[in-house]
Amino acid sequence: MSSNRPSPAQPPTLRDVAEAAGVHPATVSRALNPKTRTQVGAETVRRVQRVAKALGYQPNPIARSLKTSRSNTIGLIIPDLTNPLFPPIVRGIESVLEPGGYSSLIVNTDNDPERERVKIESLRSRQVEGLIVATARLDHPLLVELHEQGVRMVLVNRRVEDLEIPYVTADDVTGVTLAVERLARLGHTRIAHLSGPQTTSTGVARARAFRHAVRDQGLEDDPSLIAECAHWSEADGAHALRLLLDRGAQFTAVVAGNDLIALGCYDVFAERGISCPEDMSVVGFNDMPFLDKLRPALTSVRIPHHDIGVEAAHTLLECIEEPARPPRSLLLPVSLVVRDSTARANERRL
């Protein structure tokens, strides 16, 4: 009876429960842990559980981590949470991690390798059990290093060259192909591509797919119709389009590396009095939110954001929980969402 703590809400520990249940702490530990519960008498288990609930016992995950050297935490490396591409992916990830008993620590790198190094350092010091990385570049020494150190990770939306790191991405090739096919069917014969940075697998894959698709449509694969954006941003998209235009390139449609780059095109259209889609068609990539409300509504390749997150998380958990099994990578299907930024080619522009 006398075991009531008058104390100021110190959370109860295993010992408190043990005391209250008249049993040894180790027994409580076993009774409360599903994996060892069988080793304890059914009656004892019940009593312990009752007492634990009564006291409002919550295991201290820090103590547990110290003992088991598992943190139940994973790190999420993204360039910029403010880019609408990522929040849905993050939500997908959490929808898997959380039921699995994991939490995620999110960091923004702004695509700065130094920042990235520091933040990953900090994540590791917090003992994360794995990493989901959305910032991978084709040549990415840091990731190679981590991989060699046995850090478990999964890449989303990206890959690294010559490296056996599992990845989950959208099917870039099909996406770009759909875009080009659509434009070709609308009579466009000279289509430009504002590619993403060629330091990223995604940028390279989409650019390569673009050239293939153009040839497959029987069109000329003219390198002067391709401009590379330094970053996946509006500003860089605008810059690249201006370059093409100033160079006097002739084209009636643009396949943008992603939606932000496409938005950059909108800025240039406004600057130069080009009307979209009458003078120029544009297709984006990713189908971010609110594209349907743009002026004009942007045609874009839809990728399964949420599923990418879900699959990435599953893959990572597999790596963690069954280190033996060789992890598989995933290519998720895409579709073209046709809106108002694409129309029949305006031949006068050529």
Residues near its own copies (CB under 8 A): 9, 58-63, 65-66, 71, 80-82, 84, 87-88, 90-91, 94, 98, 103-108, 122, 124-127, 149-150, 263, 266, 289-290, 293-297
Q: How many Cα atoms are found within 13 Å in the side-chain-facing hemisphere of 271? A: 12
Cβ-based nearer residue to its own copies, 105 or 320: 105
Hunting for tokens 């075991």 — which residue is that?
3
| 37 binds DNA per the rule CB under 7 A | no
Nearest distance from residue 52's CB to DNA, in Å? 10
Q: How many Cα atoms are found within 13 Å in the side-chain-facing hemisphere of 218? A: 3
What secondary structure, in 3-state letters, does 195-223 show? ECCCCCHHHHHHHHHHHHHHHHCCCCCCH
Q: Which residues of 306-337 are buried (b: 16+ CB within 10 A; e: fewer)?
A: ebbbbbbbbbbbbbbeeeeeebeebeeebebb
| 131 binds DNA per the rule CB under 7 A | no
Q: Which helix (H) or strand (E) covers residue 194, if one does?
A: strand 191-195
| Secondary structure class of 285 (helix, strand, coil) | strand
Contact region with DNA (CB under 7 A), list: 54-62, 82-90, 143-151, 340-348: 54-62
| Secondary structure class of 171 (helix, strand, coil) | coil
**What residues numbered 274-303 form the site for DNA, per CB under 7 A?**
none
Nearest distance from residue 103's CB to its own copies, in Å? 5
Q: Angle 14-21/25-32 helices, nearest 10 degrees?
A: 100
| 50 binds DNA per the rule CB under 7 A | no
By CB neighbour count within 10 A (0-12 exposed, 13-18 middle, 19+ buried), where does 188 fall?
buried
Cβ-based nearer residue to its own copies, 157 or 201: 157
Q: Is the peptide bond before 277 cis (omega within 30 degrees of 0)?
A: yes
Torsion of CA 313, 318, 323, 327, to 10 degrees: -80
| Contacted by 149, from its own copies, DNA, none: CB < 5 to 8 Å by type | its own copies
Nearest distance from residue 317's CB to DNA, in Å? 18
Using CB under 7 A as the binding criterion, the count of chain residues that bind DNA stands at 30
Binding DNA (rule: CB under 7 A), the pick from 39, 82, 122, 275 is 39
Contact region with DNA (CB under 7 A), list: 6-14, 129-137, 160-168, 192-200: 6-14
Tokens of 2: 């006398």
| Contacted by 289, from its own copies, DNA, none: CB < 5 to 8 Å by type | its own copies
| Secondary structure class of 17 (helix, strand, coil) | helix
Nearest distance from residue 10's CB to DNA, in Å? 7
Pairwise CA distance, residues 190 & 338, whole Å: 19
| 111 Cβ contact list (under 8 Å, min separation 6) | 79, 80, 135, 231
| 100 binds DNA per the rule CB under 7 A | no
Cβ-based nearer residue to its own copies, 132 or 184: 132
Pairwise CA distance, residues 165 & 327, whole Å: 8
Nearest distance from residue 71's CB to DNA, in Å? 12
Contact region with DNA (CB under 7 A), list: 14-22, 221-229, 269-277, 291-299: 14-22
Nearest distance from residue 133's CB to its own copies, in Å? 17
Pattern 56-85, DNA, x by CB under 7 A: -x-xx--xx-xxxx----------------
Contacting residues toward DNA, per CB under 7 A: 10, 13-15, 22-27, 29-30, 32-33, 36, 39-41, 43-45, 57, 59-60, 63-64, 66-69
